[in-house]
Structure 1
Amino acid sequence: MLEAQAAGHELELVAVEVVGATRNPTVRVYLDREGGIDLDAITGANRWISTTVEESGLIGGAFTLEVSSPGIERPLAKPSDFAAHVGERAKVRTSAPVGGRSNFTGTIASADGDAVVIDTDGTTHRVPFAVIARAHLKVDIEF
């Protein structure tokens, strides 16, 4: 429901997280747009997202809403997110081991409808989207 509304405002819904206690959880919504998102767009989105979440009844009672840009270490939630960032570094955590591992940090080599291929120090790993619990871009900043 939020994805269609975001598209109607020429925004991309990057990710939604519900964290914290069941009594007053925090709903985090990450939005972006081509060329980047600004404070005015986030402020406007806050209003329609709050109304949509309240009217949906998915969160019973009070909640805290956080709306922001995805940031430099953007979450990767959909196959298209991975495909758009081929050649960039990412950190992926799985809900079940893949090849004996549950954490992968490396370069996104490719992505198709079923899995992402990550190169970790010369070793290639095919990680099915079905077992990815969390993933985000990994930016290494050197000072």
Structure 2
Amino acid sequence: MVKSKLEQDIIDALEAVAPEHGIDIVDVEIVGATKAPCVRVRIDRLDGEGISLDEVTAQNAWVSDAVEKLDPISGSYTLEVSSPGMARPLRRPSDFERYIGSAVELVTTATEGRRKFKGTIAATDEQAVTLELEDGEQVSIPHGDVKKCALKPVYDFKGGKGDK
């Protein structure tokens, strides 16, 4: 996945210490104004179980220390540490492997033709991810061309309430 150098530097610094805490760094992105940006760090448990709000809170201190030690932004910034949420970002080949069969929304860096895709992850390897699009067409996209990809949440409003 395409990341800015600053985002990748933060990911590298966090991934160096995350396993000691049983944490997986899902994604890092820098958003907002240039003068006071927000460094958004999404974490999950390394064992694959979902992370609770209490666990996110407990991990906040070492994440903050690691980012502060790197000193990535010269001025003030906000650090936001959160769970990946339902629209979980996918950035590594192993993320795509874990979610084969799941619906995603993907944006590529391609400047010609189509850049946005909606579909289901049909297959993946170290070089590319193959999506089955909503119209049945299959497309293979090199991981290096993926700018952004996230699971497409499925909301079930009928669960447990009967068929009304």
TM-score in terms of structure 1 length: 0.92
More strand by share: 1
* Map of 1:103 onto structure 2: 116
Q: Which runs of 4+ in 1 moved over 4 A?
A: none
| Aligned-residue CA RMSD (Å) | 1.4
Does residue 127 (structure 1) correspond to residue 151 (structure 2)? The answer is no
> Is residue 2:129 matched to residue 1:116?
yes
Q: Distance in 1 between matches of 2:155 and 2:52?
A: 24
Cα pair 1:53 1:59 within 8 Å, conserved = no
C-alpha distance in 2 between matches for 1:105 and 1:142: 19
Distance 1:60 1:51 in 2: 16
- Percent identity over the alignment is 45
Query: Are positions 1:76 and 2:98 aligned together?
Result: no
From 24, 41, 47, the equivalent of 2:61 is: 47
Secondary structure of residue in 1 paired with 2:110: strand
Contact 1:27/1:64, CA 8 A, preserved across alignment: yes
Matched AA of 1:116: V
In the alignment, structure 1 residue 11 sits paired with structure 2 residue 23 = yes
Q: Which runs of no fewer than 5 residues in structure 1 stay unpaired?
A: none
Query: 1:28: which partner in 2?
Result: 40
Count, aligned residues: 142
